[in-house]
Structure 1
């Protein structure tokens, strides 16, 4: 590397090849028009960016908690990279939210200085994972839904959102593939791994109903070409999930994949795991969350709140 001591290498920020995120990298949205499109409701567009940004931020934090806990070193690296991808999406979306609302809040203020009731992420992103099978089941559900959403969002009338979505499609394709491979590996593995994967699917998939409930913000913006109505993603989601669960031998007794459509609204307390994590019936888009989100924010925001205005 051309350095006399290791410390010089660590403190030099010009060589971006050694930095995973945050310094010395090219702006992925360089050249994209940042102006807010004419005719759009700024308040609603800012809220929409917050929704998508909060989804990514909270799940990114959850994924990093699995680094050092995954079955193999390669998978720890994979989870770290997936978490970084989502963190990158969160930064771009929260920045865009701040630009659109024009109230002087940047990505840090939005990430670190809001309380749980102000976050707009889906509850699926905040729940904890009982084991690795729950983790990959949740990531499969989340990535399958978000990939379908971003694929359509790339055609939005907001150039910034379109560019963020186009970049995210490539990342989310990998996220979905990695999670699907593990679901199949565990589901079609040993008797123990099969049972654990089946239990995880039974707990997680019914919670997907919240992902497809159309919020008024989404409905209004979608009608104007600035957002995606999530209700229109359900068929694609079910088709992908059915294919994966069939390959993983995780179909029910009738032979149909456990796509969770019978629990589409996610409100049944009898769906495995729903009552346990408190997500049943919650609407994260309106600030209704489980106690898990407050725990995440206590950890994530501790430094920023202990040193107001600090920079590091």
Structure 2
């Protein structure tokens, strides 16, 4: 009978023998068969186009492949040993980790503040909460950088940071802070902070809209009850708004962290050559400029592991019981 059930699992229901079809075990088997066959094609596509490239990356990271020919030699863990002693790799990793920690913290904090002001920062009669006047227009203004590509944003901010004709030095001079002017904003120790400013500016509008939508889903009665209890705006935010939007904040944190790790476009377009590196830009340099695709793939594996660890930690540390209204 087990053999018949196994064969029936791979047969369409119309071809299943009646002796098996009316068996109680077949009913449960039929449920699993539907799920398996329904997911078979998506899982196959995912495996071919997502999982397979990752496995190939692990393989090529153990070779001396140049990226420009079909020939390569297997070198084992030599690339990983070389990466461990590569000072430029650790400098790029340090910059990427700095962006990973600070960029989500600043961007999400600003997004939450602006979203709360646009959603519950106003005062209107007969309304428990309301946004500030013109909140719809503000959302459009905040979201505008999302319409631009990162390459265009990088070009614009590169002109702003330009030491000769940039708006930053000119603005500092206009307000009497000429001593703060710098000859090289994007090539010294402050380059990472300049990139951080652009990264936060370009993504904060997305989180304003995202958090505004999450806050708009909170029932008005909850705010009315808090207002009757005498809760102010700060207390309302930290005891009602923030807990009820925590799932959205956690998801946004993971997404913003991945965006911070993938700062290639900003660094490659905005920062002069050898000004600073992050892991994606250093990977690009080794692969396409130096013809060391095998070693570049090793850096990609390290970037993959950092991203995986970050996402796993955030999803586990941020886990909490769902708040029911």
Measured against the shorter chain, the TM-score band is under 0.3
| Structure with bigger RCO (C-alpha 8 Å, 6+ apart) | 2
TM-score normalised over the length of structure 1: 0.25
TM-score normalised over the length of structure 2: 0.24
Rg comparison, structure with higher value = 2
Give the number of the structure whose residues are more often helix, by fraction: 2
